[in-house]
Amino acid sequence: MTAPRGPDGRFHNVATSQRPPLTAVANWQRTRQPAPWPKWIEDPPQPAPPPLAAGVSATFINHASFYLRIAGRGVLIDPIWSRRCSPIPFLGPKRVRAPGQALEALPGVDLLLVSHNHYDHLDLPTLRQVRRRWNPPAVTGLENARHLRKAGLPAQELDWWQSTEIAGLTVTYVPAQHFSARTLRDRNRSLWGGFVIQGAGQTVYFAADSGWCGHFAEIAARFPRIDLALLPIGAYEPRWFMRTQHVNPDEAVQAHLALGARRSIGMHFGTFARLTDEAIDAPEQALAEARSRHGVADHAFTTLAFGATLAL
C-alpha cells in the first residue's frame, strides 16, 4: 500500500480526516489555556553513549531525537539541538532543558533518519551540524529530500512500506496518521511516517508522530518481532484538536500492545514549552496510569532520563 495522494499532489491519511482546518487552529489558539511550564530544568548529566557494538541500544536525546545503535551502526533519528523548534530563531516553542547529550558526544553517525518535515523533527541548523561532522547518508519520506538539501544532505526518499538497504541496515518507511507543513502553503505536500530499522536479527520501530489508527496493527503483522518501539506520549491536549494527529499516553500503551513490542520507550514530551496544553509532567504520569490500567509492566514501557541509554 502506497500513501494516498490526490490529483493536487497532496498526501492524505487513510483512517481519518486531515488535521482540523485553519479556523479550528485559530479557535484553539484563541481559547487555549496551557498549563504552566518551568522556565528551565537542569537535568543531571548522563554517561556518553557507549562505543558502537553488537546488540541494540537507544539514547534519548530530547523530544523525538534518539541515537540508536544497532548491528554496530550509529543511527540518528529526527535530531534537534536548536533552542527553538521554529522557522524564526527568536519566536516559537522554546526548550526548557538542554539536549541530554552533546552532539559531539555521539560515537559516530552512520545513518540519518528524518520522519517528516515539522520543525521539531526536521531542524536545519542541527542537520547542518550533522553534515559537517559526519555527512551520513539520509532516508526520509517522499518529497522531503528538498528540505534536507538545504542542509547540504542528499537523502533517499521512500513511500510507505518501501525499504532500502543502507549503511548495513534495512530501513522501511511505515505509515502514520499525521500531516506535514513547513509553511502555510505546503500542507501535506510532503509525506509523513515512521521507520522500522533492522540489522543483525534485531528490529526497532520509531513511530514519529501519529494519531491512534490501524497502522500499528499493520506494522505488527509485517514485523512480528519488534525488539524496541519508540512511541510518542506527549503533545496531546486538547483532545478535540490533537486526537487525529497525536496519541495520548493511553493510546500509546494500546499501540505498544498492538505492536507486540518487547520493550517500548516514550518520547515527544518534556522538551519544548507549551507545544500543546498539557503540563510538562502530565505525559509520564498518564503513562504510569495507562500501564496499570492495561496490565503492562513498568519495565515494558518506560521513559528514559534525558541523555540516558537503554541497552537490550
The predicted-structure confidence for 141-156, as pLDDT tens digits, reads as follows 999 999 999 999 999 9
pLDDT given at position 51: 85
- Retrieve residue 61's grid coordinates: 536525546
CATH class entry, domain 49-311 = alpha beta
Contact status, residue 85 vs residue 123, Cβ threshold 8 Å: yes
Phi, psi of 251, rounded to the nearest 5 degrees: -65, -30
pLDDT given at position 21: 64
* 9 DSSP 8-state letter: S
* 157 DSSP 8-state letter: E
Q: How far is CA 301 from CA 106, 212, 257, 290, in A?
A: 25, 17, 10, 10
* 253 DSSP 8-state letter: H
| Long-range contacts, 282-286 (Cβ 8 Å, 24+) | 282/35, 282/237, 283/233, 283/234, 283/236, 283/249, 284/233, 286/233, 286/248, 286/249, 286/250
List all residues 6 or more positions away from 7 whose beta carbon is below 8 Å from its beta carbon.
none
Q: How many angstroms separate the first and last alpha carbons of the chain?
A: 32
The CA-based dihedral angle spanning residues 237, 191, 182, 145, taken in that order and rounded to the nearest 10 degrees: 140
Going residue by residue through the chain, which has 312 residues, state the pLDDT in tens, using 9 for 90 and above: 799 999 999 999 998 755 566 667 777 777 788 899 999 999 999 999 988 777 899 999 999 999 999 999 999 999 999 999 999 988 899 999 999 999 999 999 999 999 999 999 999 999 999 999 999 999 999 999 999 999 999 999 999 999 999 999 999 999 999 999 999 899 999 999 999 999 999 999 999 999 999 999 999 999 999 999 999 999 999 999 999 999 999 999 999 999 999 999 999 999 999 899 999 999 999 999 999 999 999 999 999 999 999 999
Q: How far is CA 93 from CA 27, 113, 149, 275, in A?
A: 19, 23, 24, 6
What distance in Å separates the CA atoms of residue 183 and residue 123, rounded to the nearest whole number? Answer: 14
What distance in Å separates the CA atoms of residue 101 and residue 106, rounded to the nearest whole number? Answer: 8
Q: How far is CA 270 from CA 8, 79, 98, 194, 283, in A?
A: 37, 15, 11, 21, 8
Pairing of strands 73-77, 194-199: unpaired
pLDDT given at position 179: 95
pLDDT given at position 18: 57
Distance of CA 101 to the CA centre of its chain: 17
What residue type is 273 in one-letter code?
A
pLDDT given at position 257: 98
